[in-house]
Structure 1
Amino acid sequence: MSDPDATLTSYGMAEDFASAPVLGITVLWHPQRERIGEQMLGPAAGGAIALNRFAPLFAPLSVRPGAGHEGTPLGERSITREPVHIRFVAEGGIQIDHVRGKMGLELNGRPSNGTDRFTAGELERGIVIGLGSQIFVCLHLMRSLPRAANLPGLIGVGNGATKMREAIAQVAGTSMPVLLLGETGSGKEVAAQAIHALSGRRSGRLVAINMATLNESLAAAELFGAVKGAYTGATSGRRGWFAEAEDGTLFLDEVGDTPASVQAMLLRVLESGEYRPLGAGADARSNARIVAATDQDLGEDGFNQALRRRLEAFVIRVPALRERREDLGVLVRHFLEAEAPGDGWNLPFELLSQVFNGDWPGNVRQLGHAMRRVALDLQAGNVPVLEQAVGLPVVAEVVAPPDAAVASSSAVSRPVRRKMSELSDDDLVEAMEKSQWQILAASRMLGISRPTVYKLLEAHPRIRFPANISEEEIRAAWEACEGDLQRCASQLMTPAEALRRHVGSLGLGVSV
């Protein structure tokens, strides 16, 4: 059992303990799927945990210890009575000891040596423990007490997900602009949807625009509208996105790629609520609430800094999936329940190990696509293989020896910066294919900036943006690919993010 003097069992303590985080264990996978996501709150520095079939006790987030339910042990027969001992060591590290031969024990994708040490940095990232043949748990630090999720769509049991949900709940009822910071696929649009759903504007529209896909020459007309004859080809007046979002929410995705020509116009709307449609003789007013999102540093040259400060009225960071490893289990369950709710989910131990130890550069979106493919394999009676489901490796760093020095994610080797002139048309297509037609991932693979990738895409003889593809061709490809965004993007040779928004506007329905 856990050390009773070092284990925190009372919820009478402070709700947050960021200055002195404690050990937590989250169930990533269990044959009883309802137990996935259960947690136990362990010892602070100096304490220890003994993990076996009968201890410690795990409880779902909906149950607070002391409320008549102290929790349930893992209980699986493949887990021995002989405990796995987990304790703090010098400098915030962790040591894990167990008797070899009694039970299979996997640590971060590698067989245990019997005594394994992990640095504080590795603990910060989360240590994945495979027990016996069916159980996975994540050992991680906790900086606040577990709290039940109360916002649909924002799935997660860890502190990062909790903090994000609470920030959304705090700001949703206001009219403040919100800036969502996070990597591609991390869930920024889901967060924007939650802000809208919790706000007093929920009866209005949520209008989503990818600023990176705006045609610079027509961006002002698309955002603010135009009167008849305002520009060549304007045979009739058009409503802009601000007018469409009246009494609702305007979501400006990839706001860091906003054309420079309209940044000052956006600033004016945020400052005064006024804008002028292209060619109009008078100003219009907007009461749309602005939510913006980016994965870029808006402090860099090229972005209007006054606009940045306005957008930063309230900032919410959406963590990358590799930073919330304890959430992987509940996310996998969520996706599989959506696609294969009645199936037995007989997933190979090796596949689960790859899933839980993967870095998932495409974040929640990439995980969702992979699990949908896994669900199809399960329904067809096939043994799912992660590489086939994902289409590219997701396990890049997890096989480092447990005692190796830990490097931050920013220290991972990156491609050498290249010039546009060094890249051929085939180089661009190859990078887009390998990155599942995600522009940010392709830019990192090629070692060039994302705006440079856009320029290359626009100049490419075979690649088209969705706006330049007929609706009939898109619908035919979507049907042929059975709604699989990545397959459809590859078939059409068009960026996946832009395609996702375009098919959504066609009413085809895209999962985030």
Structure 2
Amino acid sequence: MQQKLAADMSTTAVQTKGSPATAPRSVPALTVVSHPHPQRIGEQLLLEVLASVGRTAALSRNAPDFSRPGGLLALPLGDPFLSRTPVLFEPAAHGGLRLRVPEDGTQVCVAGESVAGGREFTQEELVAGVPLVLAERVVLLLHLASTAAQSAHRDLGLVGQSQSIQQLRDDILRVADLAVPVLIRGETGTGKELVARAIHEQGPRRSGPFVSVNLGALSKELVAAELFGAQRGAYTGASRDRDGFFRAAHGGTLFLDEVGEAPAEVQAALLRVLETGEVYPVGGHTPVPVDVRLVAATDSNLEARIEERLFKAPLLHRLAGFELRVPPLRERREDIGPLFLHFARQELETTGEGWRLSPTDPRAAPWLPASVAVRLLRYAWPGNVRQLRNVTRQLVIGSRGLPGLRVDSRLEQTLDAESLPVPGRVLAPAGAGVPEAAGEAKSSRRKPSEVGENELLEALRACSWDLKATADFLGIPRPSVYVLIDKSSLIRTARDLSPEEITRCFQECAGDLDKMVQRLEVSRRALQRRVRELGLSDA
């Protein structure tokens, strides 16, 4: 049962379930990404009270309760290192949110930066997700979530609770029992085959075969024979008749991945199959009827390929009887924790360390350290869920026998290479004697056009060529620093340096990267990347 807020709380309690009479809407939410009890990863709290102007949500050790979407059990964070004094969340202008941290309360960090007083986040930052670290032990993701009710039993094999994944599950159920072809769009590594299997398992053909084919991996010379079959002697090496994937999937589902890579002649044959329900084996003249549910997937822009005359428009129209979109991982960061827990459980079972997910000491350090959890949340994940699975395996196996997960230097560099900027605007501490308006004026942004070349150069030198620190120093967004550097005639970038110059400086500085940065006057991160590319290793 839902526990009540402590009686001494002066702020309004947070509800975790919306009224059934109200339409679903997006509200701020907190999702557990790391906790001393790892099984709590994925639990969520909806801050619905913030939808009302002037209302405040409070969060402490003892209240309110987090629960797994669709689940019945609800518990407060409960970690003994968290304070009973609550941190506060307040609505801000234009859909934003303010975080207030009292001096005698729990230490809170935002993506590694300690919060003193408060911080304000825009709606765009909430959409991207804001990592909050409490007492260096509990990591929460502050984000937007839907108030729509979720079922705990219809995950369809898809891990996650984000609004986009909920929508994907709904679309799968809408189309699964129909005979129309389905086109699944999504970046590589997002799990398009899992979606195709869910369509098959939820449809009337679930008892039939599910045949998966990656067109991009087939030989162009043999792709037609692989798909439609071939008669003996139809081509060199065809010593016997072969059925092909279409006939192998008869009565079931055929999943064609990377359909955008199909050669022109195969595209024409696919169109004919969709129109007639018949295939012509290579070397044959008699059509063979097939009863197949076709599900195709692509990470290509098929419309652009049509303009380039690489893909047939009629085939796209026939394949896309119904379209599904699988979101990239960077658009559903609240699912990173549950996905990590899912993959970690699989790996721990193979290593015989499954007990790590059920610790007995409530004061022990979290198995998933806060620093590692924040890195996972801030990484861009160009390889999506597949890459997260591989990173999880690397972490679990690389930390066998250790009390907590450890990130080696190579993986650390990978995760730090494409991380999001630290979100939020600093607010003046309460009772600091400075009006908030003055604090806002001090941290106000400037227009990048107001920054001259010499000022930019001096700021870079003062900040030791740390581009983020330089952006904060100048009061401009970090992307604008990159633009100004590219336009400047006074400043070089790491890509402007020759291999000989970098190697010579590396040797003269004995591999000290900080000395190299000061001598070459380029971004430290970019220089480090060039050093690695050249096979050098910094001390």
Moved more, 139-148 or 127-136: 139-148
**CA-to-partner distance for each residue in 1:445-466, whole Å, 9 max, x for gaps?**
xxxxxxxxxxxxxxxxxxxxxx
Question: In the TM superposition, what is the alpha-carbon distance from 1:388 to its structure 2 partner?
Answer: 4.2
Aligned partner (choices 303, 313, 320) of residue 311 of structure 2: 303
- Across the aligned residues of Structure 1 and Structure 2, the Cα RMSD in angstroms comes to 2.7
Aligned partner (choices 59, 80, 85) of residue 82 of structure 1: 85
Matching of residue 249 in structure 1 with residue 281 in structure 2: no
Question: In the TM superposition, what is the alpha-carbon distance from 1:347 to its structure 2 partner?
Answer: 2.9
Aligned partner (choices 65, 69, 91) of residue 61 of structure 1: 69
Conserved 8 A contact 2:121-2:423: no
Task: Give the structure 2 partner of residue 443 of structure 1.
Answer: none
Provide TM-score, normalisation by structure 2: 0.69
CA spacing shift, 1:152–1:386, aligned 2, 3 Å: farther
Conserved 8 A contact 1:359-1:395: no
Task: Give the structure 2 partner of residue 399 of structure 1.
Answer: 421
Aligned partner (choices 36, 41, 53) of residue 36 of structure 1: 41
Aligned partner (choices 124, 127, 131) of residue 128 of structure 1: 131
Equivalents in 1 of 2:114, 2:317: separation in Å? Answer: 49
Equivalents in 2 of 1:11, 1:89: separation in Å? Answer: 23
Conserved 8 A contact 1:208-1:250: yes
Equivalents in 2 of 1:208, 1:381: separation in Å? Answer: 39
Equivalents in 2 of 1:16, 1:273: separation in Å? Answer: 42
Question: In the TM superposition, what is the alpha-carbon distance from 1:377 to its structure 2 partner?
Answer: 2.6
Conserved 8 A contact 1:186-1:320: yes
Residue type at the aligned position of 2:44: Q
- The number of equivalent residue pairs is 402
Matching of residue 325 in structure 1 with residue 337 in structure 2: no
Matching of residue 267 in structure 1 with residue 275 in structure 2: no
CA spacing shift, 1:167–1:387, aligned 2, 3 Å: farther
Q: Counterpart of 1:140 in 2: which secondary structure?
A: strand
Q: Counterpart of 1:393 in 2: which secondary structure?
A: helix
CA spacing shift, 1:9–1:157, aligned 2, 3 Å: closer
Q: Counterpart of 1:392 in 2: which secondary structure?
A: helix
Question: In the TM superposition, what is the alpha-carbon distance from 1:252 to its structure 2 partner?
Answer: 0.7
**CA-to-partner distance for each residue in 1:149-197, whole Å, 9 max, x for gaps?**
4135311122122111121122112222111111111111111111112
Question: In the TM superposition, what is the alpha-carbon distance from 1:10 to its structure 2 partner?
Answer: 4.2
Structure of higher CA gyration radius: 2
1:51-450 matched pairs, under 5 angstroms: 51-63=59-71, 71-100=74-103, 102-149=105-152, 150-300=154-304, 301=307, 302-341=310-349, 342-344=354-356, 346-381=367-402, 384-385=406-407, 388-389=410-411, 392-393=414-415, 396-403=418-425
Equivalents in 2 of 1:2, 1:398: separation in Å? Answer: 35
CA spacing shift, 1:401–1:203, aligned 2, 3 Å: closer
Residue type at the aligned position of 2:406: P
Equivalents in 1 of 2:93, 2:137: separation in Å? Answer: 32
Question: In the TM superposition, what is the alpha-carbon distance from 1:304 to its structure 2 partner?
Answer: 1.0
In structure 2, runs of 5+ residues without a counterpart are 1-8, 358-366, 426-444, 446-475, 484-539
Moved more, 317-326 or 83-92: 83-92
Residue type at the aligned position of 1:369: N
Equivalents in 1 of 2:10, 2:176: separation in Å? Answer: 41
**CA-to-partner distance for each residue in 1:370-419, whole Å, 9 max, x for gaps?**
111222133233852165458833652323453488899xx99xxxxxxx
CA spacing shift, 1:406–1:157, aligned 2, 3 Å: farther
Conserved 8 A contact 1:336-1:372: yes
CA spacing shift, 1:386–1:159, aligned 2, 3 Å: farther
Q: Counterpart of 1:355 in 2: which secondary structure?
A: helix
CA spacing shift, 1:380–1:32, aligned 2, 3 Å: closer
Residue type at the aligned position of 1:398: L
Question: In the TM superposition, what is the alpha-carbon distance from 1:121 to its structure 2 partner?
Answer: 1.0
Provide TM-score, normalisation by structure 1: 0.73
Aligned partner (choices 22, 28, 36) of residue 23 of structure 1: 28
Conserved 8 A contact 1:2-1:49: no
CA spacing shift, 1:406–1:241, aligned 2, 3 Å: farther
CA spacing shift, 1:406–1:293, aligned 2, 3 Å: farther
Equivalents in 2 of 1:288, 1:392: separation in Å? Answer: 43
Q: Counterpart of 1:136 in 2: which secondary structure?
A: strand
Task: Give the structure 2 partner of residue 464 of structure 1.
Answer: none
Kindly indicate whether structure 1 or structure 2 has the higher relative contact order, using CA contacts under 8 Å at least 6 residues apart: 2
Conserved 8 A contact 2:215-2:261: yes
Equivalents in 2 of 1:61, 1:207: separation in Å? Answer: 33
Q: Counterpart of 1:96 in 2: which secondary structure?
A: strand
CA spacing shift, 1:15–1:330, aligned 2, 3 Å: farther
Residue type at the aligned position of 1:356: L
CA spacing shift, 1:8–1:380, aligned 2, 3 Å: closer
Question: In the TM superposition, what is the alpha-carbon distance from 1:16 to its structure 2 partner?
Answer: 2.3
CA spacing shift, 1:58–1:359, aligned 2, 3 Å: same
Conserved 8 A contact 1:172-1:196: yes
In structure 1, runs of 5+ residues without a counterpart are 413-512
Conserved 8 A contact 2:13-2:58: no
Conserved 8 A contact 1:122-1:406: no
Conserved 8 A contact 2:205-2:253: yes
Moved more, 356-365 or 92-101: 92-101
Question: In the TM superposition, what is the alpha-carbon distance from 1:348 to its structure 2 partner?
Answer: 2.6
